[in-house]
């Protein structure tokens, strides 16, 4: 990661020198000016669209062009490719006005000047899920307009588990039901790839742990081995002891879990909605629900992610681009987004209106309020390998406190090395 960031920075600097006429990072685009169209009538914005949302943005571009007389140059660009290409094209003056990015990039990209602040209108902001807006905000500025969200949910087989568990005791009762005994190799009542910290973090957060202080912005304050985190890791260890031994390998656990679930053998699993097509194809009568509560009453607080359109720090038409963003997040377009992309939109009215009739939306609407967004400072990347190792060691009987202490020391060393090379 350090080498990659350095490469991007060097590439951006070289492109700036070669271009000779690069723009400075844009100041926040005015919502009031952009909303009125101002002097931008007949202007053109360049948008790099991730393939998942290209068809929807193509339709929205046509609607906006008809309504305003402006034009969108829409380019299909996978998000990961656009990230690298923007580091070169942006400073050279040939990059996009808008591009796709995840919320956890806003800290690093805003500091580099690659993302510019966005000032949406109050009406547009009111359409969005508040936690999504908060996640995409850094140092008081919005840097990504969130379009869709992701998080893990509890997915259950209704034929085996008619009612999902509300509490830890309910969860334990299902796990220990004799019908889920896997020939002596653990229970198939509940499966989760807990060796992957993305999946096990929610237990630590709900028990009182945290990654970094000051709302995950202060890496000098690490809460991954405090009393709450240790308690959360103890729950993870208990679940490992109840699951089949094969679930201890995070590299194969997801495939094992999905295979068993589609065979109709598993009561519950923790996964994202990307597995739902496989369940439908297998004919599983499944349901979705929020995570259970730990004994302290806190809902297991899975990680959440929000993805949307970021304003390039080198945007040519920031006001027009802001007008376009204000346009596409309106409530009336949320349903078409969901239908066209198959993703969960960050539109609060859509979630509220569909929670009564759509079980997936209901589960998202309930779970998302408890979720912890992925960390948006670059030091967050230094936690993954140590925490994967810590969680994996619990599957083989490691002491939770010892495992977490070891991980935190490695994280501190990683952060020190990161800043020593910067």
pLDDT in tens, 307-359: 999 999 999 999 999 999 999 999 999 999 999 999 999 999 999 999 999 99
310: helix, strand or coil: strand
Q: Is 15 among the domain residues? A: no
Question: CA 48 to CA 79: how far, in whole Å?
Answer: 8
Residues 126 and 196 in one domain: no
Integer-rounded Cα Rg, in Å, for the chain is: 23
Residues 203 and 292 in one domain: yes
- For residue 381, the model assigns a pLDDT of 93
- For residue 42, the model assigns a pLDDT of 86
Domain that residue 198 falls in: 152-301+376-420
Q: Is 64 among the domain residues? A: yes
Residues 218 and 176 in one domain: yes
β-strands 115-116, 344-345: how paired?
unpaired
Residue with tokens 């809902």: 299
- For residue 421, the model assigns a pLDDT of 73
Residues 232 and 157 in one domain: yes
Q: Is 65 among the domain residues? A: yes
Residues 353 and 288 in one domain: no
Note whether 361 and 344 are within 8 A (CB).
yes
Residues 49 and 168 in one domain: no
Question: CA 10 to CA 26: how far, in whole Å?
Answer: 20
β-strands 115-116, 71-76: how paired?
unpaired
The rounded Cα 324 to chain-centroid distance in angstroms is 23
* Phi, psi dihedral angles at 317 (to 5 degrees): -130, 65
Residue with tokens 């350095």: 6
* CATH number of the domain where residue 270 is located: 3.40.190.10
Residues 247 and 316 in one domain: no
Q: How many domains does the chain have?
A: 2
* Burial class of residue 391 (count of CB atoms within 10 Å of its CB; 0-12, 13-18, 19+): buried
Distance of CA 153 to CAs 5, 54, 228, 270, 290, Å?
A: 33, 26, 22, 6, 6
- For residue 9, the model assigns a pLDDT of 45
* Residue 221, C-beta contacts closer than 8 angstroms, at least 6 positions apart: 212, 213, 214
Residues 266 and 349 in one domain: no
Residue with tokens 């951006």: 12
Residues 127 and 261 in one domain: no
Residues 166 and 267 in one domain: yes
145: helix, strand or coil: strand
Residues 85 and 159 in one domain: no
Residues 169 and 251 in one domain: yes
Question: CA 142 to CA 101: how far, in whole Å?
Answer: 13
Q: Is 361 among the domain residues? A: yes
- For residue 422, the model assigns a pLDDT of 62
pLDDT tens, N- to C-terminus, the chain (422 residues): 333 444 444 444 434 333 333 333 344 444 433 333 434 458 999 999 999 999 999 999 999 999 999 999 999 999 999 999 999 999 999 999 999 999 999 999 999 999 999 999 999 999 999 999 999 999 999 999 999 999 999 999 999 999 999 999 999 999 999 999 999 999 999 999 999 999 999 999 999 999 999 999 999 999 999 999 999 999 999 999 999 999 999 999 999 999 999 999 999 999 999 999 999 999 999 999 999 999 999 999 999 999 999 999 999 999 999 999 999 999 999 999 999 999 999 999 999 999 999 999 999 999 999 999 999 999 999 999 999 999 999 999 999 999 999 999 999 999 999 998 76
């Amino acid at each position: 990661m350090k080498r990659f960031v350095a490469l991007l920075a060097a590439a951006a600097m070289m492109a700036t020198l070669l271009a000779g006429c690069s723009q400075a990072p844009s100041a926040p685009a005015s919502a009031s000016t952009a909303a009125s169209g101002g002097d931008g009538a007949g202007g053109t914005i360049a948008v790099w669209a991730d393939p998942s949302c290209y068809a929807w943005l193509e339709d929205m571009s046509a609607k906006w062009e008809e309504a305003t007389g402006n034009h969108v140059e829409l380019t299909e660009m996978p998000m990961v490719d656009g990230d690298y290409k923007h580091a070169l094209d942006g400073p050279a003056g040939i990059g996009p006005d808008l591009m796709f990015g995840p919320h956890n990039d806003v800290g690093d990209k805003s500091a580099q000047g690659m993302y510019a602040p966005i000032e949406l209108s109050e009406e547009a902001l009111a359409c969005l899920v508040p936690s999504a807006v908060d996640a995409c905000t850094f140092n008081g500025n919005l840097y990504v307009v969130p379009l869709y969200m992701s998080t893990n949910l509890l997915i259950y087989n209704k034929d085996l588990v008619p009612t999902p568990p509300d509490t830890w005791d309910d969860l334990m009762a299902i796990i220990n039901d004799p019908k889920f005994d896997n020939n002596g190799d653990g229970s198939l009542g509940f499966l989760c790839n807990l060796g992957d910290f993305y999946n096990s973090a929610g237990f630590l957060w709900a028990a009182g742990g945290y990654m970094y202080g000051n709302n995950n912005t202060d890496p000098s304050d690490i809460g991954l081995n405090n009393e709450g985190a240790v308690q959360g890791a103890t729950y993870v260890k208990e679940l490992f002891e109840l699951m089949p031994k094969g679930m201890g390998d995070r590299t194969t656990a997801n495939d094992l879990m999905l295979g068993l679930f589609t065979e109709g053998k598993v009561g519950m699993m923790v996964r994202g909605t990307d597995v739902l097509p496989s369940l439908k194809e297998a004919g599983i009568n499944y349901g979705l629900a929020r995570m259970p509560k730990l004994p302290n009453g806190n809902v297991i607080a899975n990680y959440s992610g929000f993805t949307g359109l970021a304003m390039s720090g080198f945007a040519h038409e920031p006001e027009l681009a802001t007008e376009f963003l204000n346009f596409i997040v309106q409530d009336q377009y949320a349903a078409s987004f969901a239908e066209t992309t198959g993703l969960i939109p960050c539109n609060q009215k859509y979630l509220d209106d569909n929670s009564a009739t759509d079980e997936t939306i209901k589960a998202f609407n309930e779970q998302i309020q408890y979720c912890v967004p992925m960390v948006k400072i670059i030091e967050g990347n230094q936690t993954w390998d140590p925490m994967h190792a810590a969680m994996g060691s619990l599957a083989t009987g490691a002491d939770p406190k010892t495992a977490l202490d070891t991980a935190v020391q490695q994280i501190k060393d990683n952060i020190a090395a990161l800043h020593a090379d910067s």
